[in-house]
Amino acid sequence: MKKTVLREYARLIVRCGANVQKGQDVLVYADLDQPEFVQMVVEEAYKAKAREVTVLWNYQPLEKVHVRYRSLKTLGTVKEWEKARQQHYCDTLPARIHLISEDPDGLKGMNTQKLAKSRQMIYPILKSYMDQREGKQQWTIAAVPGAAWAKKVFPGMRVSVAMEKLWEAILFTARVTEDPVKAWQEHNANLKARCDYLNNLGIDKLHFTADNGTDLTVGMIPEAIFCGGGETSREGIYFNPNIPTEECFISPKRGQAEGIVYSTKPLSYQGQLIDNFSIRFENGKAVEAKAEVGEELLNTMISMDEGAAYLGECALVPQNSPIAQSGLLFYNTLFDENAACHLALGMGYADTIRDHHNKTLEECRALGINDSMIHEDFMIGCDSMHIDAITRDGRTVTIFHKGNWAF
Ligand code: ZN
Ligand code: ZN
């Protein structure tokens, strides 16, 4: 890929994605796949007047080695210096940039029970720091190609060809055009108009149906609103958490989901695939989960903690979105969730509550925002997806028809 185009993309991530501020620290999380691109992002962050940029490298095969050889006790311990580091981030609020490129099944064969247990041990300690930072930090997730990932998306091609093809797909969906910043402004305005329409309906429930058997009703929180595109941090800084993004999403009311949903794309959870699955809900809780591939892992995911069995997100994405139109299956949630309607199990987004900046996290959760250590999107959208909104004044308004917006 041409360096000038990559430079545009790096600038988009820093300026439009994280919107790095003068004097702000920046954390960049990256795998080892694209060190030169990571360098560009770091440089762009400094050009945006960042104070200090720190790169935290990750390498999936090493993760496997650690989980294999370390005891559960050491994997599940948060050391004092780590706590101090977390507190430092709470005090300094660095912008976070995640550059993902991992192999969708790069952790295949790992002891998932051991990893799940260690995460359950660590989470309560890290949670207090995460809650302190909630809504205050700008963050963005964007993707770069990794060799194994590219081979998975474009099987049968040479690695170099597959990598180039994946770059093209990433840059296309990220709207890296002649003028990416302008393209994003227009895109954000479109998403906002969709959300405004939905928010004016006064939706009480969403009813999802599809030819594959999906028939699910989900209750809404009266105080919650559909959000999409960029958002504003508590510090008043506008940023784009996902590059790309095509969704209008809301956090549903915990405890109100009835019926069954069928997945329409595979889900990569902890580096392993779950495919062709269904989840049945009663009183908001996932009570039965079946999968052709990865059923045990799916059930491990749902039982990570109490909130993992409840919904945290309903997101609407039309089948004619640019990502869906690309016809590619990315095996990566950032892309696949923006190509189809999806739900998420686990943590809900407190910032979908109207006027959330003037409410505490506890107040938002008391309104019905779910809380969990997981937030896992899974795709349910398809060409026959139909969604009716049942409004608080008793009307039924079709908002999705044959997989696309009905308004
Ligand atoms: Zn989503
Ligand atoms: Zn999500």
pLDDT tens per residue, range 255-279: 999 999 999 999 988 888 899 999 9
pLDDT for 108 beyond 90: no
pLDDT tens per residue, range 274-294: 999 999 999 999 999 999 999
The per-residue pLDDT for 260 is 98
pLDDT tens per residue, range 138-152: 999 999 999 999 999
pLDDT tens per residue, range 18-30: 999 999 999 999 9
The per-residue pLDDT for 322 is 85
Q: What percent of the chain has pLDDT over 70?
A: 100
- The residue among 332, 334, 330, 277 whose CA lies nearest residue 300 is 277
Non-local (6+) Cβ contacts of 123 within 8 A are 305, 373
The per-residue pLDDT for 326 is 87
SS3 state at 392: coil
pLDDT tens per residue, range 322-350: 898 888 999 998 999 999 999 999 999 99
Class of the domain covering 3-173: alpha beta
CA of 263 to the centre of ligand 1 (A): 15
CA of 381 to the centre of ligand 2 (A): 14
CA of 321 to the centre of ligand 1 (A): 14
Region 13-40 average pLDDT: 98
CA of 141 to the centre of ligand 1 (A): 12
The per-residue pLDDT for 57 is 97
Residue 189 phi, psi (nearest 5): -65, -40
CA of 74 to the centre of ligand 1 (A): 33
CA of 260 to the centre of ligand 1 (A): 19
Q: Looking at the CA of 315, which ligand is closest? A: 1
Confidence of residue 112 (pLDDT cuts 50, 70, 90): confident
Helix H segments across 295-400?
Answer: 295-302, 322-325, 333-336, 361-366
pLDDT for 402 beyond 90: yes
Residues with a beta carbon under 5 angstroms from ion ligand 2? 313, 344, 377
CATH 3.40.1830.10 residue ranges for the chain: 3-173
CA of 69 to the centre of ligand 2 (A): 32
Both structure tokens of 22: 């003068």
For residues 24 and 155, give the distance between their C-alpha atoms in angstroms, rounded to a whole number: 41
CA of 113 to the centre of ligand 2 (A): 23
The per-residue pLDDT for 312 is 98
Higher pLDDT, 369 or 112: 369
CA of 337 to the centre of ligand 1 (A): 6
Region 166-191 average pLDDT: 93
CA of 93 to the centre of ligand 2 (A): 22
CA of 18 to the centre of ligand 1 (A): 18
For residues 382 and 386, give the distance between their C-alpha atoms in angstroms, rounded to a whole number: 9
Q: What percent of the chain has pLDDT over 90?
A: 88
For 204, counting Cβ atoms within 10 Å of its Cβ (0-12 exposed, 13-18 middle, 19+ buried), the class is middle
The per-residue pLDDT for 375 is 96
CA of 142 to the centre of ligand 2 (A): 14
Region 384-403 average pLDDT: 97
Region 367-392 average pLDDT: 96
Region 378-400 average pLDDT: 97
The mean predicted confidence, pLDDT, of the chain is 95
Q: Looking at the CA of 317, which ligand is closest? A: 1
- The residue among 205, 321, 213 whose CA lies nearest residue 263 is 213
pLDDT for 178 beyond 90: no
Residues with a beta carbon under 5 angstroms from ion ligand 1? 247, 249, 315, 337
Using an 8 Å Cβ cutoff, are 261 and 216 in contact?
yes
The per-residue pLDDT for 89 is 96
CA of 312 to the centre of ligand 1 (A): 10
Q: Looking at the CA of 377, which ligand is closest? A: 2
